[in-house]
Structure 1
Amino acid sequence: MFYLTRMLGKPVVDAAGETIGRISDVAVATGEVFPRVTALAFLGPGKTPFMLSWRKYVESIDDDKVVLNATKDALRFSYLQPDEILLARDLLNKQIVDTQGMKVVRVNDLKLSESRNQLRLLGAEVGIRGILRGLHPALETAAERIAKLFGKELPENIIAWNYMDLLERDLSQVKLSVTHKRLHELHPADIADVLEQLTPAQRAKVFEHLDNSQAAETISELEDAFQAEVIGDLGAQRASDILEIMDPDDAADIIGDLPYDKAEALLRLMGVNEARAIRSLLGYREKTAGGIMTPEVTRVTEDMTVSEVIEHIRKESSENESLYYIYVVDADGRLEGVVSLRDLVLSDPGTKIADIVSRDVITAHVDDDQEDVAETMSKYDLLALPVVDETGKLLGVVTVDDALEVLEEESAEDLELATGASRERGPLATAWWLIVRRNAWVALWALALLAAASLNRNAQACSKLPAACDLVLAAAILSPIILRAADEVSSRTITELIDATPGGEHPSFARRLLRESGIGSAVAVAAAAVAFLWVEVAGTAEAGTAALFALVTAAAVLVTVFVGSALGEAALKASDAGKTPPSSLLTLAAMVVGSAAYLGLAYALGAWIELG
């Protein structure tokens, strides 16, 4: 086996034994399953680049050198052919798409094999071994031995040429083997997974190889955060053409996320009917049935026959991808019933729709919450749910794929709310939210201790109010009790936020406060006992101070509970308005107010003792 990183820089020796240069690259023919090395590139005297035919001039190759079968005077140099690529230039240390694993990877090395005096490319090494080998072969050997000491192996991670697509080299005009799988030949959902791992410039190169239909399907599969960005990076005319092809509800979601001027420009470039459908959807509130429905729905009247409806579907609804049910409406467009495709196909052609229509139709109002719509579809196993207005007029349908997206989105939001995770992505955002959410109490405790320590170092202040300094220090040491109480009351609020339905019934503030006060009172009694014992054991305060400090501690717990309850009430009202606050913010606010109140009350008690 040979590896490109080990080959580069090796001497090239002619038939007379003279070193005429060092290997700088090798070329392979792309039209084979395991591409054959066709040319050797090397740097001669003065670093002059040369290229030779591998088949014609290479006699042998080993770990130390390449030996040619002719002297330097007899060599005839060649050029890179259209169906050839250079491994070091086009692949090594470049990003490629693994079209089997559907991910973007970096090529750390390339593995080649010699067979019948021919060298062939087996694949790209994208694992740790390639990195170590590229730095120095001794590092790979050392890592392999260390792994063996622990009974492990250091595996190769090889991607075969058939499953590699280059991002930084256009292969559209290059002949490839019939089994070679390019990125644009994948399923749109798989293309979308890869695109989300690329830079905007790399995404643009991929879209150059997608026709408008492929591009529309791929954009529909992208995460919401990428859709508007991708459309915004395309030219106005192509972006408009792609949006026309997309389902109106998907196109409306993207248009709604674009700047107003850009959105209007794209709508003006669209066909009249497509633009009208998208504008109508933009008029509905987000996260409602109207916001996620598609107006593309098959409408018929009950006086039509089965054969007439089938002909109507062929002519009018051939491009309707969500053709699950046929909806029966009156002359004013009000929904009267529904016919399933099964009933339509199994009925005689002359049967009237009135004879097979089902009048018991489950519907959603245009302003219903999207989560309620999705749950209704799940409950009744519906592939589509008709959406009506106050008069019963059929406006559109919510399809099962949109319902699944809603359930996934709501589940993700609940998880973010429960864990305090950031909606931002990336290692910095993740690290920040892990610190804030999981370790906020540690940071606040440290701040409280620092504040107490600073106060105690102030000799002038402590000489006048020594009791205040002592009690503030005690409060700082015991502040985790307050921080824990804040975390508990916030956690109960977060649970309510997760379970709550926007606009639904919630416990009143008085009821919530009563519930939290009951729990808080038990915590306050326990905290007071701990505070009393702490001051008594410390023995630095005057007689009676321990009891007063215990009361202050209990009061601080109750203040924290009250503040947490008030913040919970505000959070639920904000959630009803569609603006759910981050759970980390609720917890942090309750902790800050509670600990500040505790330190303040402790200082006030100490000052009162000294001055009273």
Structure 2
Amino acid sequence: MIYLSQLMGNPVYAADGEKIGTVSDLGIATGEVFPRVTSLAFKGPGRTPFMISWRKYVDTYDEKEIHLKVPAVEIRFSYLQPDEVLIARDILNKQIVDTRGMRVVRVNDLKLSDTSSTQLRLLGAEVGARGILRSLSPALEHVALKVARTFGHPIPERIIAWSYMDLVERDLSNVKLSVSHKTLDDMHPADIADIIERLDPRLRGQVFAQLDDEQRAGAMAEFDDDAMAAELMGGMNEREASRMLSEMDPDDAAELVSELDYDKAEKLLRLMGVQEQRAIRQLLGYREDTAGRIMTSEFAALPEGKTVADAVELLRGLDEDFESVRYVYLSDEDNKLSGVVTLNSLIVAEPQTPLADICTREVITASPEDDQEDVAEDIAKYNLLAMPVVADDGHLLGIVTVDDALDVLEEEHAEDLQIAGGIASDDESAHGGDLLWLLRRNAWFFIWMVGAGLFVALSHLTPAFQAPLHEVLLVCSALPIALVLADDSVSYVTNFFLENDPDDEDSPSMLGFTIKSLALGIAFATLVVLVEMALDSVVAAAAGASMPKPLHAGFIAAAIAVLVAFVLCPVWLLVLRKRDEKNEDTSGFALSVMAMVIACLVFCFAVGQLANVMGILGVFA
């Protein structure tokens, strides 16, 4: 086995031993299971690029040099064929789609198989750390492997076979592979959406443009980032965008159109068919985050006087892309929802059985103005596959399907995690790195170190504040108490916010929450003072003297900061509720940092005031 990185830059010698250049690339024929190397690209004198046939001219090769069969004067230039690509130019350091693993990866090296003395074939792409190390230096890779094995953590190769690679920066749609494998076009829309979201922004449009209208519509409905979906749609011409919207379910199309500016949305809607346009406009008429906004107007309904045979005929006549049907809804003479028939009931019933005889009359419904989260929770609670949405007069408007309910619950769960200070997705820690992960979980420690550093700097740089270092450190030793409890105060607020709906009559009032927060602040501040008194007693009993004054001051300042932190709890609750009313995301981590910074400032201020009283820290009277 040999790697592209081991060949790049190697000298190329003619048959007479003359050095004629250095290797710059290899060409492969893509129409094979393991593509043959067909061309050798090298840079000659004056860095002039040359390309020659590998089969015709290459005699021998290894990891150090390549020898040709003929003298330099007999070499003839060749051209890249339509089914050929240059692997260094077109694959190395590019993003590819691993269609087996359904992910986007970056090619760090390419693995070649020397099937004979002169024949090379491409096996696949190295996407792991070893490819990076090897491209930097083979010696560095060797050392890293030995060190990793020593510690019991070997670095494995991560090779993606050619048959499972789809390039995303080069259009190879006309290249026919001789092996049957899943390509990007054959993937489920959710997998396509996931891959496109992980691509560099400059590549998303290129990949999206390769899909047909149906595939685009499916992928659009699966995007987690609505703004990114709107951006992709903005790159399409209006007729293409309109056709794609027509392929989407009305609820998904309405959600996407709501992300566009008014003029753009109106142009697209006017280009659509009358039926599709009416369905989308109807959904856009409802407020965001309501059942009306996420329902679909595609459902199966019949008068209750019809038979099982009529229902089967109705279902057989539906389009293939019709919203998944699990129920047939019945209406009475006044066109009001009167019952529901499940598919299971239809299957076992006789064709001439009246639907009214096998329907369920007690139907759980929602109003179009109901909160989408409440509707989703009811669907989960009652194990429904869809919930009908009815108007005030009982007329059936649409249905909320279980897949939309799951999307709502997932979105609400992510928001709750964010408010609670958790990480909403697995990728965030990967993108932010270990330092961000550590910062999120130990923010108090970093703020403590910064606060202590400022204290020390102040004691050395400010003429009016010349304090011995040991006194500064004693004072700062009590600061973590204030920071940790300030962090806990925000957790207390976020838990209250998530568990209590202000519109619920049974929820505690704002006044009750304020009183309870103040009581908690007094209790924790008192506890800090009691701990300080207990420590003082222990020190006095052991050493015959009380604790140093700076440590006394630190504990008292911490108690004051804790009290202020809990007094601010109603403020944080108001912030959460106001932003929630505006559908704005709020980070619980950001609130925690703000609360800890305020606690640190209050602590510093309290220490400054206590210093004057207690005659510590060298403060001028």
Give TM class, smaller chain. Answer: 0.7 to 0.9
Residue 179 (structure 1) shift: 2.3
The answer for the alignment partner of 1:350 in structure 2 is 352
Matches within 5 A, 1:16-55: 16-55=16-55
Task: Write the distance in 2 (CA, Å) between the matches of 1:28 and 1:417.
Answer: 52
Task: Write the distance in 2 (CA, Å) between the matches of 1:111 and 1:485.
Answer: 55
- In structure 2, the CA distance between the partners of 1:479 and 1:110, relative to structure 1 (3 Å rule), is closer
Task: Write the distance in 2 (CA, Å) between the matches of 1:242 and 1:87.
Answer: 35
User: Are the aligned partners of 1:420 and 1:433 in contact in 2 as well (CA < 8 Å)?
Assistant: no
Residue 552 (structure 1) shift: 8.1
The answer for the alignment partner of 2:298 in structure 1 is 296
- In structure 2, the CA distance between the partners of 1:418 and 1:452, relative to structure 1 (3 Å rule), is same
SS of 1:278's equivalent?
helix
The answer for the alignment partner of 1:254 in structure 2 is 256
Task: Write the distance in 1 (CA, Å) between the matches of 2:485 and 2:569.
Answer: 9
SS of 1:60's equivalent?
strand
Range moving further from structure 2, 524-533 or 351-360: 524-533
Matches within 5 A, 1:80-119: 80-116=80-116, 117-119=118-120
AA partner of residue 207 (structure 2): V
Range moving further from structure 2, 477-486 or 371-380: 477-486
AA partner of residue 412 (structure 2): E
For residues 143-168 of structure 1, give each alpha carbon's deviation from its aligned partner in whole angstroms, at most 9, with x where no partner exists: 23333333443322211110111122
Q: Percent identity?
A: 47
The answer for the alignment partner of 2:11 in structure 1 is 11
Residue 206 (structure 1) shift: 1.3
Matches within 5 A, 1:77-156: 77-116=77-116, 117-156=118-157
Residue 67 (structure 1) shift: 2.9
AA partner of residue 567 (structure 2): F
Residue 591 (structure 1) shift: 4.2
Residue 385 (structure 1) shift: 0.8
Matches within 5 A, 1:181-200: 181-200=182-201
Range moving further from structure 2, 395-404 or 451-460: 451-460
Unaligned runs of 5+ residues in structure 1 are none
Task: Write the distance in 2 (CA, Å) between the matches of 1:452 and 1:146.
Answer: 41
User: Are the aligned partners of 1:478 and 1:531 in contact in 2 as well (CA < 8 Å)?
Assistant: no
Instruction: Check if 1:285 corresponds to 2:294.
Output: no
Which one of 384, 394, 397 corresponds to residue 395 of structure 1?
397
Instruction: Check if 1:213 corresponds to 2:218.
Output: no
AA partner of residue 528 (structure 1): V
Range moving further from structure 2, 572-581 or 394-403: 572-581
User: Are the aligned partners of 1:33 and 1:179 in contact in 2 as well (CA < 8 Å)?
Assistant: no
Task: Write the distance in 2 (CA, Å) between the matches of 1:304 and 1:389.
Answer: 23
Residue 251 (structure 1) shift: 0.9
- In structure 2, the CA distance between the partners of 1:138 and 1:360, relative to structure 1 (3 Å rule), is same
Residue 329 (structure 1) shift: 1.6
Unaligned runs of 5+ residues in structure 2 are 538-544, 616-620
The answer for the alignment partner of 1:177 in structure 2 is 178
Task: Write the distance in 2 (CA, Å) between the matches of 1:172 and 1:371.
Answer: 43
The answer for the alignment partner of 1:410 in structure 2 is 412
Task: Write the distance in 2 (CA, Å) between the matches of 1:390 and 1:429.
Answer: 52
The answer for the alignment partner of 1:537 in structure 2 is 546
SS of 1:365's equivalent?
coil
Which one of 428, 439, 445 corresponds to residue 443 of structure 2?
439
Task: Write the distance in 1 (CA, Å) between the matches of 2:377 and 2:204.
Answer: 35
AA partner of residue 383 (structure 2): D
- In structure 2, the CA distance between the partners of 1:262 and 1:199, relative to structure 1 (3 Å rule), is farther
Residue 359 (structure 1) shift: 0.8
User: Are the aligned partners of 1:421 and 1:434 in contact in 2 as well (CA < 8 Å)?
Assistant: no
Calculate the TM-score normalised by the size of structure 1: 0.86
Task: Write the distance in 2 (CA, Å) between the matches of 1:586 and 1:558.
Answer: 17
For residues 459-506 of structure 1, give each alpha carbon's deviation from its aligned partner in whole angstroms, at most 9, with x where no partner exists: 6699xxx9xxxx999976644444343333322221122323463332
Task: Write the distance in 1 (CA, Å) between the matches of 2:475 and 2:134.
Answer: 58
Task: Write the distance in 2 (CA, Å) between the matches of 1:403 and 1:515.
Answer: 35
Task: Write the distance in 1 (CA, Å) between the matches of 2:63 and 2:339.
Answer: 78
Residue 70 (structure 1) shift: 3.2
For residues 52-79 of structure 1, give each alpha carbon's deviation from its aligned partner in whole angstroms, at most 9, with x where no partner exists: 3322333332333333333444444432
AA partner of residue 373 (structure 2): E
Range moving further from structure 2, 333-342 or 172-181: 172-181
Range moving further from structure 2, 436-445 or 210-219: 436-445
SS of 1:320's equivalent?
coil
AA partner of residue 144 (structure 1): L
User: Are the aligned partners of 1:476 and 1:599 in contact in 2 as well (CA < 8 Å)?
Assistant: no
- In structure 2, the CA distance between the partners of 1:66 and 1:290, relative to structure 1 (3 Å rule), is same
- In structure 2, the CA distance between the partners of 1:22 and 1:449, relative to structure 1 (3 Å rule), is closer
SS of 2:443's equivalent?
helix
For residues 276-328 of structure 1, give each alpha carbon's deviation from its aligned partner in whole angstroms, at most 9, with x where no partner exists: 21111112122221121111112210122222233333345654222111111
The answer for the alignment partner of 2:588 in structure 1 is 583
SS of 1:364's equivalent?
coil
Which one of 381, 384, 389 corresponds to residue 382 of structure 1?
384
Residue 454 (structure 1) shift: 4.4
Residue 592 (structure 1) shift: 5.1
SS of 1:20's equivalent?
strand
SS of 1:257's equivalent?
coil
AA partner of residue 353 (structure 2): T
Range moving further from structure 2, 320-329 or 53-62: 53-62
Residue 107 (structure 1) shift: 1.8
- In structure 2, the CA distance between the partners of 1:580 and 1:18, relative to structure 1 (3 Å rule), is closer
Residue 44 (structure 1) shift: 3.4
Aligned CA RMSD, in angstroms, stands at 3.7
Range moving further from structure 2, 12-21 or 300-309: 12-21
User: Are the aligned partners of 1:572 and 1:580 in contact in 2 as well (CA < 8 Å)?
Assistant: no
AA partner of residue 12 (structure 2): V
For residues 189-230 of structure 1, give each alpha carbon's deviation from its aligned partner in whole angstroms, at most 9, with x where no partner exists: 221121111123312211222110011111112213432222
- In structure 2, the CA distance between the partners of 1:154 and 1:308, relative to structure 1 (3 Å rule), is closer
Task: Write the distance in 1 (CA, Å) between the matches of 2:457 and 2:70.
Answer: 84
Residue 522 (structure 1) shift: 3.4
The answer for the alignment partner of 1:240 in structure 2 is 242
- In structure 2, the CA distance between the partners of 1:163 and 1:75, relative to structure 1 (3 Å rule), is same
- In structure 2, the CA distance between the partners of 1:417 and 1:73, relative to structure 1 (3 Å rule), is same
Instruction: Check if 1:562 corresponds to 2:589.
Output: no
Residue 171 (structure 1) shift: 0.9
Task: Write the distance in 2 (CA, Å) between the matches of 1:577 and 1:42.
Answer: 61
Instruction: Check if 1:168 corresponds to 2:169.
Output: yes
Residue 238 (structure 1) shift: 1.1
Residue 559 (structure 1) shift: 4.2
Range moving further from structure 2, 529-538 or 402-411: 529-538
Residue 561 (structure 1) shift: 2.7
Residue 566 (structure 1) shift: 5.0
- In structure 2, the CA distance between the partners of 1:339 and 1:446, relative to structure 1 (3 Å rule), is same
- In structure 2, the CA distance between the partners of 1:356 and 1:138, relative to structure 1 (3 Å rule), is same
For residues 557-578 of structure 1, give each alpha carbon's deviation from its aligned partner in whole angstroms, at most 9, with x where no partner exists: 4444333245436645764675
Residue 347 (structure 1) shift: 2.5
- In structure 2, the CA distance between the partners of 1:304 and 1:155, relative to structure 1 (3 Å rule), is same
Instruction: Check if 1:524 corresponds to 2:529.
Output: no
Residue 175 (structure 1) shift: 3.4
Instruction: Check if 1:223 corresponds to 2:224.
Output: yes
Residue 399 (structure 1) shift: 0.6
Task: Write the distance in 2 (CA, Å) between the matches of 1:250 and 1:48.
Answer: 55
SS of 1:196's equivalent?
helix
Calculate the TM-score normalised by the size of structure 2: 0.85
